[in-house]
A and B are shown apart, each in its own frame.
Chain A
Amino acid sequence: MIYDLGIDVGSTTVKVTVLDEALQIVYTSYERHFARVRETVLAQLAVVEEKFGAGEYRVSVTGSAGLGIAQRAGLPFVQEVQAAFGAIRRFYPAADVAIELGGEDAKIIFLTGGTEQRMNGSCAGGTGAFIDQMATLLDLSVQEMDALSLQAERVYPIASRCGVFAKSDIQPLLNQGVGKADIAASIFRAVVDQTVSGLAQGRRIKGNVLFLGGPLYFLKGLRRAFCETLGLDEEHAVFPETAPCFMSIGAALYAAEEKPEPLSGIRARLLAAGEGEGITVGEPLFSSQQEYSDFIARHIRSDLSFENILTYRGEAYLGIDSGSTTTKLMLITPDCKILYSHYQTNNGQPLDIVADKIREIYRLLGDRIVIRGACVTGYGEEMMRAALKIDFGVVETMAHFKAALYFNPDVDFIIDIGGQDIKCFKVKNRAIDSIMLNEACSSGCGSFIQTFAKAMNMEIEEFSRLGLFAKHPVELGSRCTVFMNSSVKQAQKEGAGIEDISAGLSSSIVKNAIYKVIRARTPDELGRHIVVQGGTFLNDAVLRSFEKETGREVVRPAIAGLMGAFGAALYAKENTLPETLISTLVTEKELERFSYSSRSVTCKGCTSRCSVNILTFADGRRFISGNKCERGAGLPRPKERADIYTYKYEKLLAMPSQGQGRRGTVGLPLQLVMFEQLPLWTAFFETCGFRVVLSDRSSRELYFLGQHTVASDTACYPAKLMHGHIESLLNKGVDFIFYPCESYNLDEHDSVNHYNCPVVAYYAELLRANNERLNEDNFITPYLDPNDERTTVRALTRALRRYKLPAFLVRKAYRAGLERMKAYHEDVVREGRRILFDAEKAGKHVVVLAGRPYHADPEINHGITKLLNSLGVAVLSEDAVFEEAPLVKVNVLNQWTYHARLYRAAEFVSERENMSLVQLVSFGCGIDAITTDEVRAILERRGKLYTQIKIDEINNLGVVKIRLRSMLAAIEELQRKS
């Protein structure tokens, strides 16, 4: 008997299948390999030998990590999708579509109606690994998470593009006290959305759908999410018993074409395969034990001293840092000795932890110690402050700065790497000069190592310690976790050891921080006196990598992980008034009765439909979070809005008149260039005798409506929203949709050219190519240059030829359009002046929120303007102010209309007191990679702070709020200094 043997080596598991001569499956197995690929395969072969003897086998290898091992061992290899394809055709010929989720790959195979096979793009991230990571975040096993998800009552929107994004959506939900069941279901929903939008790309998933791979086999909740989203009944959703090892079955089928050989031969070849090559390795972190000892001795110098809480008598100050993944508390004496400190992973209920720890502190204090002041910082600041009646709240950047200042009064650079964020501050004249926070994309921070250690079945401490003396640390690149995951995969494929990967990860985190977040070119740019902090730096391997990369000896306080809490305690100490004798903190008695319940509702205060979370405390007090404006919190709305974004949006929505169109209806999608040119085209079509119908307002639902036609998932969110706008117009039954293709935008005479960005200019082409409902008749997209009347009129007449519009009418209408656009723009400028005037009168700070016209869409800016208003800041936009500034000559090629405005807006701001600029950047905007540095340079040359906010589909303002508050705090501090 000759057996066919299929081996599938995936990113996390090894699957083996044996087929007998009748091609019946006689054996399958599914094992996690924990990066020990070769050993796991060999162990499996031993099992096979035991069961079926050492006779003749035909073998074939497949899988993402199988390629390397197959090549080195000289075994036949078959691409995994191809393997699956073969197995499907044999065992499930009726399938129309197959979806396979693996450890780090997602694949979709369309079998009928034009065969097509797709794998996730390099940005889409893993799925199995992503679920693992999320389970870790929830402190659940994957099975527990799955079971919980089945009890969910509500699904929350979680960004589906990549793991890091999803994580920053989940964390605030956890901190708000949303139940794990709901979050688990939301995570699965996000995986489904990612598959549908990232892979199907314009093709509908319908018919008999086959679900393959481990996660889809083991996770009932994930199955349910798929069936619900795709609208599949039991008959059409097929979950084969063999799903986890399906690829290995396919490989076994392909093995039939190979020559048979004894199993011992196959094993011998695997044994001889060697470790492989092709990975870049760096220097070891420490060359000798002595070097390590010196390093440790140097850092011990920055320790705080302790005071015994059981014997001390006197005053104390409490600091609480309610971070995203961890909670930290510290109680200090007036001379900054530590009485008590605590550091703990949140596990989802930070409020319970803090209440519990305060109880413990009260027990320890007896009547010897009085807490005179308490202060809280971090993500959970407001909630904690309300729940526990804490005296002060301070934005976390300020807390960290205060703490660093204590350790080194000369500090000029602080870097804090925490669980999921990196914060860096430059310090000038003992005030924060600039703040850099990681974008949602590069947060490959501390929790990444943790997840990874867990995947390796190790404690984080042990995992990091291994790295310290690694001989050949692997180079893993310096991008986001998803990229690092596949780099790790490759390193493992090449046979790198765990210690080398551990050291490599430490160095990646450091490089990520320096080159991605800070974007320093040389270490000198960082500063001379660097203080590092955050829990991640307690990891000596990370600390050492940082020192090696920067070539500087830095200060790492022993309380690196507690700096936020320490800073908060210092803040409490500095700000407690001499007459205050005791903190307002909940008393020991009150804590006995302390309990709360949480529920979430959708705020109906306005069209934003914020998802609001309400905590109700035992004493009847309530705390509301998740709201973007005062309404959600049940506060009255201020009478006068100082928000030009909302003003513009409302103006645009009211632009079409309600009349009947003699010639028909035209649909205008309110997105991208229409946010600027809607007045032009409304007036144009109304003059021509059409009724103008606008697409629905942007929302997440609208996005989902068009998601299946999104061709490129790394395009910016405004572009991706466009698909939903088109669908909404098609559903409204307009005669045709109009969206012009404009290589050139209006010339505002301030740049060497006046292009649109490629996405804005030609998005219509992509829409037509990827939405089957669009055709030449219902989607009119003339190419025109709005600066040139003659050719524009010609192009419009031609495009609308079936209406037989006379050229003179088109010309007249076009002129009317330009008039209306001019009037609209003047109106915006006027409103801008009014806001500025009022703000100056009231002594309010003004922020010029500079982005693109389409950032006026509240679904794109996520209500940042309302947030700014609620912080007491008036909001202007770049297009309201740029004309009042002189022209600006910059270092880069200034050739895009919208972007030229940014430079002038920056110059406008830099000439004014009490005004700052915040640049809004859409994730994926390639051109802003160029403008941001220039805008920063303009502002910094004039001594202004530069703040950038990256926005995407993520609808969570937590990070944005911290950033804006830090900016305002830094401005205040600067003003106080001068």
Chain B
Amino acid sequence: MKKTFETKPTVDFSDDYPVFTPGMKATHTILIPDMLPWHFDLLVHVMRGMGYKVEVLHNEGRAVIDEGLKHVHNDTCYPALCVIGQYIDALKSGKYDPARTAVLITQSGGGCRASNYIPLIRKALRAEFPQVPVMSLNFSGLEKGNGLQIALTDLIKLAYAIYYGDLIMSCYNQTKPYEITEGSAAAARVSCVEEMKRALDSGTYRRLGTCAERILRTFAAVPVQRTPKVRVGIVGEIYVKYSPLGNSHLEDFLLAEGCEPVVPALMDFILYCVVNNINDAKLYGKNRKAALVYRAVYAWMYAKQKKLIRLMKKYSFEPFHDFEHLRRCADSVIHQGVKMGEGWLIPAEMAALAETGTENIVCAQPFGCLPNHIAGKGAVRAVKALHPDENIVPVDYDPSATKVNQENRIKLMLATARERLKGKQ
């Protein structure tokens, strides 16, 4: 393909953009949007350890959204708007010297328009901060030469950080609604994060079992009273699923409503991306050599997940979904070939949550998200055919969708959920 591409005459309409050179590692602060509050504590710590000056943005509010609206085509997905809004609002705040600042975004690649975030960010910055380089964190070979320099050992370290982030998130959500002393779950979270940071520094992070047990033990030690509460699963588009800015603090809202939020692991999304490459080779004979590597990566990551599941059960926590099981859940509803955006993972998680007793589900998606037409809203009916008791509410997130509208819909779902809970008791 490449060959033909180069032999034909090409007109270049692309603009120059600043590149993040290795030298900038020493001089530049790298801004990261607030995407994964549970995981960034550890991920950022790893990146700092690699010598990058990284800072996670926590700016919020109307100003952020307004900057987003000003700088991005308004029909673009909401996550792009939030992310770009955060960058520009931060750069305008005067806290960062634009000459010594870069911005970083993760990219998963694929046929969803989200693959275009990097060019969109560049376009948005060009007007006012043309000197700021945009960096990509991805594993699909996009944006070569403009990403982070990550050695294999660092990559492994990041993977561990994600496992621990997932584990802390899951334990916290299972403890917080039931804690007897207000704030004890939060304290457990802080102590676990600090401990894992130390483990990442010292190298003991590689002992998955020891570290995981430490986290599990800390949370298991929090005194709780297990009065039954409404459990609400959160599935959907990856950004609005995890980012409080994107989903108007959905987890906090659910906790305030006296529910237990059930947020599936981030690692599932990563495994989903890996599996898609394997599926591509299987279905279409694409990149069969690379698929061998993906298979090995998958086997390694899946084994780790299995181990965590075993330990979570040991400490009586509801474990993560077993990814092989998730794939089988997907097969019952949708084809694993649906691989754009969050694709088959969404109905798979809906089905898996229902199986494990979380029948109430918020399917969070940006307004007008293309893959979600198919795999989110579009698949609800098929999931319900298998699990008639599922209580699913699709919620659209959008710069102008008011909180009252979103909350009203979620409350409707909760009303049904509470009634059912009452019925069961």
- The CA-CA distance from A711 to B14 in the complex, in Å, is 38
Q: Is the CB of A929 within 8 A of B9?
A: no
Q: Are A895 and B75 in contact (CB under 8 A)?
A: no
Whether B180 is near chain A, meaning CB under 8 Å from some CB there, is no
Stretch of B27-35, B121-129, B157-165 lying at the A interface: B121-129
Do A515 and B69 touch (CB < 8 A)? yes
List of A residues within 8 angstroms of B375 by Cβ: 762, 765
Query: At the interface, yes or no: A886 with Cβ under 8 Å from chain B?
Result: yes
Interface pair A67/B404, CB less than 8 Å apart: yes
Query: 1/0 per position for A909-928, CB-CB distance to B under 8 A?
Result: 00000000000000010111
**A715-B373, A790-B285 known; A519+B398 contact, CB < 8 A:** no
**Cα distance A888–B12 in the bound complex, in angstroms:** 6
Whether A758 pairs with B373 at a CB distance below 8 angstroms is: yes
Within 8 A of A (CB), among B102-141: 110-113, 115-116, 118-120, 122-124, 127-128
A711 touches B380 (CB 8 A): yes
Residues in A whose Cβ lies below 8 Å from that of B334: 765, 769
Question: Within residues 53 to 78 of chain B, which ones have a CB less than 8 A from any CB in chain A?
Answer: 61-62, 69-71, 73-77
- Smallest CB-CB separation from B111: which chain A residue? A755
- Nearest opposing residue in chain B for A82, CB measure: B415
Cβ 8 A contact of A119, one of B62, B400, B412, B414: B412
Q: What separation, in Å, do the CA atoms of A117 and B420 have in the docked complex?
A: 14
Does B411 contact A79, Cβ atoms closer than 8 Å?
yes
A770 touches B378 (CB 8 A): yes
- Chain A residues closer than 8 Å to B406, beta-carbon distance: 122
Interface residues of A in 719-768 (CB under 8 A from B): 719, 741, 743-744, 747, 749-750, 753, 755-759, 761-763, 765-766, 768
Least CB distance from B75 to A in Å reads 4
Q: Are B373 and A712 in contact (CB under 8 A)?
A: yes
B377 and A81 contact, CB distance less than 8 A: no
B interface footprint on A391-412 (CB within 8 Å = 1, 0 otherwise): 0000000000000000000000
CB within 8 Å for A749 and B4 given contacts A788-B285, A891-B122: yes
CA distance A115 to B415 in the complex (A): 13
User: Is the Cβ of B405 less than 8 Å from the Cβ of A930?
Assistant: no
A46, B142: Cα distance in complex, Å: 68
* A929→B76 contact, CB < 8 A: yes
CB contacts (< 8 Å) of B71 on chain A: these are 521
Q: Which residue of A lies closest to B339 (CB)?
A: A743
Contacts of B286 in A (CB 8 A): 785, 788
Contact B119 A932 (CB under 8 A): no
Flag whether A806 is at the interface (Cβ < 8 A).
Answer: no
Which of the listed residues B110, B283, B401, B416 has the most CB atoms from chain A within 10 Å of its own CB?
B283
Residues of A within 8 A of B382 (CB): 768-770
Complex contacts, A761 vs chain B, CB 8 Å: 111, 338, 340
Q: What B residues does A493 contact at CB under 8 A?
A: 404
| B11 interface residue per 8 A CB criterion | yes
Q: Point out the residue from B13, B61, B113 that lies within 8 Å of A888, measured CB to CB.
A: B13
A889 to B11 CA separation, bound complex (whole angstroms): 6
Contacts of B9 in A (CB 8 A): 886-887
Which listed residue, B8, B333, B402, touches A490 by the CB 8 Å rule?
A: B402
Any B CB within 8 A of the CB of A123: yes
In the complex, which residues of chain B have a beta carbon less than 8 angstroms from the beta carbon of A207? none
Which of these, B74, B337, B414, B419, contacts A479 with CB under 8 Å? B74
Q: Are B404 and A117 in contact (CB under 8 A)?
A: no
- Would you call B374 and A766 a contact (CB within 8 A)? yes
User: For the complex, is A661 an interface residue (Cβ under 8 Å from B)?
Assistant: no
Residues of A within 8 A of B384 (CB): 114
- Give the CA-CA distance A68 to B405 in the complex, in Å: 12
Q: B14 — which chain A residues lie within 8 A by C-beta?
A: 889-891
Give CA–CA (A895, B120) in the complex, Å.
15
Q: Is A489 interfacial (CB 8 A cutoff)? A: yes
Q: Which of A479-506 contact B (CB under 8 A)?
A: 479, 483-484, 486-487, 489-490, 493
**CB distance A889 to B12 under 8 Å?**
yes
**Cβ of B5 under 8 Å from chain A:** yes
Select B62's contact among A78, A475, A521, A711, beta carbons within 8 Å: A475
Q: B49 near A: Cβ within 8 Å?
A: no
Compute how far the CA of A909 lies from the CA of B254 in the bound complex, rounded to whole angstroms: 54
Any B CB within 8 A of the CB of A39? no
Contact: B338 with A762, CB < 8 Å? yes
Nearest CB in chain A to that of B334: its residue: A765
Which of chain B's residues has its CB closest to A755's CB?
B111
Assess whether A892 is interfacial by the CB under 8 Å rule. yes
Report if B408 contacts A (CB, 8 A). Answer: yes
Pick the interface stretch among B89-97, B223-231, B362-370.
B362-370
In the complex, what distance in Å separates the CA atom of A783 from the CA atom of B282?
A: 11
Residue A924 contacts which of B10, B339, B368 (CB distance < 8 angstroms)?
B368
In residues 282-313 of chain B, which contact A (Cβ within 8 Å)?
A: 283-286
B285-A791 in contact (CB<8A): yes
User: Are B374 and A64 closer than 8 Å at their CB atoms?
Assistant: no
Cβ of B341 under 8 Å from chain A = yes
Q: Could you tell me if B402 and A486 are in contact, using CB atoms closer than 8 angstroms? A: yes
> B111 near A743 (CB under 8 angstroms)?
yes
Is B381 among interface residues, defined by CB-CB distance under 8 A?
Answer: yes
Q: How far apart sit A924 and B113, CA to CA, in the bound complex (Å)?
A: 13
Residue among A68, A479, A758, A785 with the highest chain B CB neighbour number at 10 A = A758
Most chain B beta carbons < 10 A, residue from A67, A487, A519, A926: A926
Q: Is A972 an interface residue (CB 8 A)?
A: no
**Most chain A beta-carbon neighbours within 10 Å: one of B12, B341, B416:** B416
Give A822 Cβ to nearest chain B Cβ, in Å.
Answer: 17
What's the Cα separation between A711 and B375 when bound, in Å?
11
List residues of chain B with CB within 8 A of the CB of A889.
10-14
Q: Which residues of A contact B26 (CB under 8 A)?
A: none
Give residues 520-574 of A contacting B (CB, 8 Å).
Answer: 520-522
Q: Which residues of B contact A762 (CB under 8 A)?
A: 337-338, 340, 371, 374-375
**Which of B4, B113, B380 has the most C-beta atoms of chain A within 10 angstroms of its own C-beta?**
B113
Does residue A111 face the partner (Cβ distance < 8 Å to B)? Answer: no
**Residue of chain B at shortest CB distance from A715:** B373
Out of A67, A114, A715, A750, which one reaches B408, CB within 8 Å?
A67
Q: Are B5 and A750 in contact (CB-based, < 8 A)?
A: yes
A712 to B409, CA, bound (A): 16
A924 to B396, CA, bound (A): 14
| Residue contact B337 to A937, C-beta cutoff 8 Å | no
Known pairs A280-B62, A750-B5, A788-B286; A119 contacts B408 (CB<8 A):
yes
Contact A891 B13 (CB under 8 A): yes
Asked if B369 contacts A926 (CB within 8 A), the reply is: yes
List 5 A-B pairs, minimum CB-CB distance, nearest first.
A755-B111, A785-B284, A766-B378, A769-B382, A783-B337
* Interface of A toward B, CB cutoff 8 Å: 64, 67-68, 78-79, 81-82, 114-115, 117, 119, 121-123, 201-202, 280, 475, 477-479, 483-484, 486-487, 489-490, 493, 511, 515-516, 519-522, 711-712, 714-715, 719, 741, 743-744, 747, 749-750, 753, 755-759, 761-763, 765-766, 768-770, 783-785, 787-788, 790-791, 795, 886-893, 895-896, 903, 907, 924, 926-930, 932-934, 937-938, 941
A747-B1, A758-B112 given; 19 more Cβ-contact pairs under 8 Å: A78-B415, A119-B412, A122-B406, A519-B73, A758-B373, A763-B374, A765-B374, A765-B378, A783-B335, A791-B285, A887-B5, A888-B10, A888-B11, A888-B13, A889-B13, A891-B119, A926-B75, A928-B75, A941-B13
21 A–B contact pairs at CB < 8 A? A82-B412, A122-B367, A122-B405, A486-B404, A490-B402, A490-B403, A516-B74, A714-B367, A741-B338, A749-B8, A753-B111, A759-B370, A765-B378, A766-B378, A768-B382, A791-B284, A886-B10, A895-B115, A926-B76, A927-B370, A929-B76
